[in-house]
Structure 1
Amino acid sequence: MDQTGLRILNRTASINLHVRAFSFHGDASFTDSKRDGPSLIHNPRFAPRFPRISTSVKTGSNGVAETANNGARQKHLQVVLVSPQIPGNTGTIARTCAASAVGLHLIEPLGFQVDDAKLKRAGLDYWPYVVVKIHSSWMDFREYFMQQEGDKRLLAFTKRGRTIHSDFLYKRGDWLVFGSETCGLPPEALRDCTCEGIGGGTIQIPMVETYVRCLNLSVSAGIALYEASRQLNYEQILSPPEAEADSDGEKLFATEDVFA
């Protein structure tokens, strides 16, 4: 698998790129009936705008690739970072993606190496649970995006966006696109995000600009992702894709070490 292939970032590096499986015991489902307390979905503080839609995800023989490429995963949310420059921000966003069960896409050039210590530190030990795909350019990403099945659209988050993030109506299949900390989104990304057919428009997170030039990238991504998740009733958080089970009944995830 080349660099643009599907990846799960694992902080335990090996010298050679390889695919392996690890197992864990117990049920990590957010919808476990034995869990104490009321379900998040019944809390009036998190009242959704849309009814919850039940989905099932079939994991492929490799444990991961089909989960990220099949239609079920496509119907949820994705986060796209265009040329991020600060490893700590990307690591923090990766941790948020792990917590919200969404995919993360990084578009080169990056301002750091994937084995950067700050990147791994910000993501802590959550890297094995983040589905990451690295694209060599915006055009490479666009080609990948166009090949995905199901309803989908690109949403550009920018301080000059036309709609406030909490007023925008999100739907399954939305890809939340963020620019770099220094330059924002490139023209080609903004063009595609506003293009009829694949674009959903530009979105802004309101702020007082008198004292602050812009919000931190990881903060913006977290605000946007959880507002979109709230409107979708947190369905991807409450119904995460199931892992493949081996012959002993243990759940398996395929991982690929990229910190080589």
Structure 2
Amino acid sequence: MQPLISHLSTSSGQLFPGTPAVAKGKIVGTAFNGTTQQATVQAYAISNGATGAQLASTATDAQGNFILPIGSYTGPVMLQMVGATYTDVATGRMMTLGASDTLTMVMPTVASGATTSGVWVTPLTAMAQARAQAMGGGMIEVNIMAANTAVGNYFMAPDILHTQPMNPSAPGSAAMATQDMKNYGAVIGAMSQFAKGLTMPTAYSFVTAMMNDAADGMMDGKANGSPIACVDGHHDGPDDDAAECRHKWLSNGDVQLHGVQRELSGATAGDVAAALIQKLNSSSGQLQ
């Protein structure tokens, strides 16, 4: 009897051994191509440099924010946004992504059970994902890091995964923005502004064109040597001047944003344009 009494007096009272804790890893972030809502964001494992199994899927809130539970997964992850409605920063109109349109982002690694927060899914991260996917070996960690860095350096917004883009159409958004945030938002605004004047089904088509341009590592208006249509679906010459689209959208004040956006965001042309335009116009186009 005494052994039983001793055992009971020192027992925790638990009848069965404890079960192992379930890893609760998650990715917390925001999708942005102008204020974005009603989007579905999906997380995919990366296996041998290619898109693998879907890890999670969730809806964004009215500001594009999302939380993706990914459990114990560890390794590279690609995020993909589909079905979104967003406010086009050039026109102020609500637009919807087409059935085949996606906005993507790829991270070099996440730790098992960890919370990865403050990430952004944007046109620039989509360009970097397209570049990483096209590199030898595909979306392996070293390529993902190189592609994200190269696109960020090219547009003078070094950390495209974690830097919050200035919203060009949000009143006063420049007041607390860093230069990287201003540059980031200005480039997204410039894409929207350039697309505004083109004849195409959706403004997002220009983002798709930029992804195709970035994939081969050279922003020259070509995809592996073949000219990319200037989004309006036609070429003006035998080569369409190849880089014409790139130079058109980088020049004539597109990166400066039009006057209404400057007034709303509080950013002056000098804030967002001078160094960025100079760098882009003098660039060879190589992502590095």
Q: Per the shorter chain, which TM-score range?
A: under 0.3
Tell me: higher relative CO, structure 1 or 2? Use CA pairs within 8 A at least 6 residues apart.
Answer: 1
Tell me the TM-score normalized by structure 1. Answer: 0.26
Structure with higher Rg: it is 2
Which structure has more strand as a fraction of its residues? 2
